[in-house]
Amino acid sequence: MNSSPILVDVFIAAFLLKADSPMAKRPLEFSCQACGAVYARWQGRCDACGEWSTIVEEAASAPLPGGGTIAKQARKGRILRLESLVGTVDRAPRIACGMGEFDRVTGGGFVTGSVILLGGDPGIGKSTLLMQVTAALANEGHRVVYISGEEATDQVRLRAERLGLSKAPVELAAETNIETIVATLSEGAVPRLVIIDSIQTMWSETIPSAPGTVTQVRGAAQALIHFAKKSGAAIILVGHVTKDGQIAGPRVVEHMVDAVASFEGDGALNFRILRTTKNRFGPTDEIGVFEMTSLGLAEVTNPSALFLQGRDLDAVGTAVFAGIEGNRPVLIEFQALVAPSSLGNPRRTVVGWDPSRLSTVLAVLETHGGLKLGAYDIYLNVAGGLKINEPAADTAAAAAIISSMSQTPLPPDRVFMGEICLTGALRPISQAATRLKEAGKLGFSSAVLPKAGLDATANGVVSLHAVANISDLIATIIGRKPGKQRLETE
Ligand code: TYD
Ligand code: MG
């Protein structure tokens, strides 16, 4: 009946031995490769981000570097008084790379010890941009290291040759092991800038998961961030982007880094936009505009002229929007095509704008403007591949749609701006004066904008057409009020 005490002791001893042994296998955990959420067991769909088939088995969190435990490594920290720090450093010391469009996005240059995550589609030009940035800094006499995990040093050299930068004193390495990288970087003078191209190819010996998994990406990023903070080197981590625009896997990394930038553009077109979505040391939503040429990326200092280039002035269905990207005014063309539909459920296709915003504008045009759009397919395109997020673009989109539906071309020298409310009214816009100034500079002579808040925007160059609501907007375009009767375009 009684179990033998000896047997129990043997069990306990075996258990302790297993737990203490360095050979003990670490438990498994399951982590989502899209968002980094961790689960105790496998499941088909991630509860955190809703993605399917992204959960992968990985070994649980890595041990501390050096193999110690937290208790063994703990030592006393130092607490400082904020007031004692005031005046020690004027502001974060920055190094500008000299490419104005890049420095504008970082907020005036790289902050010492900061880490930037740069995302973008494959082939968009991230490596090209970073090669130009590193060469510019190296030519200024700074120590700059470019570490490629994707390409051999010869490939990087070929790109530099193509860009005419092969003489720049940039240090190159093709390496993916994070311990080797940190050890190498720690030797000699502290580099001012280190490029890691890309973070998904990096792996650490202390983490038993495969390279590219969330645990590896997070571990590698952690090691590099630690190095940056300790040494004062600025680091740019290149990150790949998934098909739906997320920086693949390391959404977790976005929390850890100081700034997140993305390099965007339509592959078929030549210009590229660099944009920050997070910046601990500078502005967000500032954009830098570049053009891909046979000699690499050229800065575009006047983006409006580029976005409006080749515009068909007599076409129906086009309206120019006076927008603001970051702190900079940008003029951009909205193109609409309203075509009779043979489908029961007419098509609504949008490029460069939010589809739900289009649905809202269409509903307002139908309800408050009297337009019958139910029998038409509607295509809306922001020319040039720029993505517009501003609500003030509503009026330009609506104007393009009204123009296409009524086959009335809009005056080619007119810009549109204003957010449309669900009540049909146009809401006041911010920074109207800046927008109008840019329009005037590019030869536009009139602007349609909301009546509300107009006083503040008086401007001598551009004549203003104030509209109170959507039926006023239709009237300025087709020359009469839509009233109760429907437009004769059915
Ligand atoms: P790359 O920087 O390799 O893209 P990423 O690192 O984002 O994957 O750029 C690749 C594209 O850029 C390639 O399709 C060719 C084009 N390109 C030019 O048009 N001009 C140039 O001078 C260079 C170097 C590249
Ligand atoms: Mg690349």
Q: Is the pLDDT of residue 454 over 90?
A: no
Co-location of 122 and 263 in the same domain: yes
Within-domain flag for 15:
no
Using the atom order of ligand 1, give the atom closest to the CA of residue 122. Answer: 8
Co-location of 335 and 468 in the same domain: yes
Instruction: Work out the average pLDDT over 128-132.
Output: 95
> What pLDDT was estimated at residue 248?
54
> What pLDDT was estimated at residue 181?
95
Best CA proximity match to 121, nearest among 270, 239, 297: 239
| C-alpha to C-alpha distance for 137 and 148, rounded to whole angstroms | 18
Q: Is 159 in the pocket of ligand 1 (CB under 6 A)?
A: yes
Residues 6+ apart with CB under 8 A from 476: 448, 465, 467
Co-location of 269 and 387 in the same domain: no
Residues 6+ apart with CB under 8 A from 169: 138, 139
- pLDDT, one tens digit per residue, over 300-348 is 888 888 788 878 888 899 999 999 987 788 999 999 999 999 888 899 9
Co-location of 226 and 368 in the same domain: no
| C-alpha to C-alpha distance for 380 and 114, rounded to whole angstroms | 40
Instruction: Work out the average pLDDT over 111-130.
Output: 92
Q: Is the pLDDT of residue 77 over 60?
A: yes
Q: Beta-carbon neighbour count of residue 44 at 10 Å? A: 8
438: confidence class by pLDDT, cuts 50, 70, 90: confident
Co-location of 199 and 227 in the same domain: yes
Q: Is the backbone peptide bond immediately before 463 cis, with ω within 30 degrees of 0?
A: no
Last residue of a domain, one of 265, 280, 301: 301
* Cα-based angle 399, 403, 404 (whole degrees, multiple of 5): 120
Best of 118, 121, 128, 290 to mutate for ligand 1, by most ligand atoms within 8 A of CB?
128
Q: 35-44, 153-162, 262-271, 414-423: which range is least confident on average?
A: 262-271
166: confidence class by pLDDT, cuts 50, 70, 90: confident
Co-location of 422 and 293 in the same domain: no
- CATH code of residue 329: 3.30.230.10
Co-location of 290 and 400 in the same domain: no
Q: Which two three-digit tokens encode residue 223?
A: 């090691």
Using the atom order of ligand 1, give the atom closest to the CA of residue 128. Answer: 2
- CATH code of residue 223: 3.40.50.300
394 alpha carbon – ligand 1 mean position (Å): 35
Q: Is 124 in the pocket of ligand 1 (CB under 6 A)?
A: yes
| C-alpha to C-alpha distance for 447 and 104, rounded to whole angstroms | 28
Within-domain flag for 80:
no
| C-alpha to C-alpha distance for 125 and 132, rounded to whole angstroms | 11
DSSP, residue by residue, 315-384: -TTEEEEEEEETTEEEEEEEEEEEEE--SSS--EEEESS-HHHHHHHHHHHHHTT----TTEEEEEEEGG
| C-alpha to C-alpha distance for 377 and 357, rounded to whole angstroms | 16
Last residue of a domain, one of 276, 301, 326: 301
Q: Is 260 in the pocket of ligand 1 (CB under 6 A)?
A: no
Q: Which two three-digit tokens encode residue 345?
A: 């459920």
Within-domain flag for 275:
yes
Using the atom order of ligand 1, give the atom closest to the CA of residue 121. Answer: 7
Within-domain flag for 131:
yes
Co-location of 286 and 320 in the same domain: no
Q: Which range of residues forms the domain containing residue 338? A: 305-478
Best of 132, 148, 237, 292 to mutate for ligand 1, by most ligand atoms within 8 A of CB?
292
Using the atom order of ligand 1, give the atom closest to the CA of residue 124. Answer: 7
| C-alpha to C-alpha distance for 369 and 363, rounded to whole angstroms | 9
- Beta-strand pair 271-279/171-174: unpaired
Q: Is the pLDDT of residue 362 over 80?
A: yes
Co-location of 295 and 320 in the same domain: no
DSSP, residue by residue, 66-80: TS--HHHH-------
What residues have a C-beta under 5 A from ligand 2, the ion? Answer: 127
Co-location of 170 and 223 in the same domain: yes
Give the ligand with the smallest distance to the CA of 200: 2
Within-domain flag for 319:
yes
Within-domain flag for 152:
yes
Q: DSSP state, 410?
A: P
Q: Which two three-digit tokens encode residue 221?
A: 């990023």
Q: 32-41, 80-89, 129-138, 272-281: which range is least confident on average?
A: 80-89
On whether the CB atoms of residues 239 and 215 are closer than 8 A, the answer is no
Last residue of a domain, one of 17, 39, 61: 61
- pLDDT, one tens digit per residue, over 184-216 is 999 989 999 999 998 989 999 888 888 778 888
Q: Is 128 in the pocket of ligand 1 (CB under 6 A)?
A: yes
Residue identifier of the C-alpha nearest atom 13 of ligand 1? 123
Within-domain flag for 16:
no
Co-location of 283 and 328 in the same domain: no
Q: In total, how many domains does the chain have?
A: 3
Within-domain flag for 14:
no
Instruction: Give the number of C-alpha atoms closer than 13 A to the C-alpha of residue 438, restricted to the C-beta side.
Output: 24
16 alpha carbon – ligand 2 mean position (Å): 49
Co-location of 241 and 154 in the same domain: yes
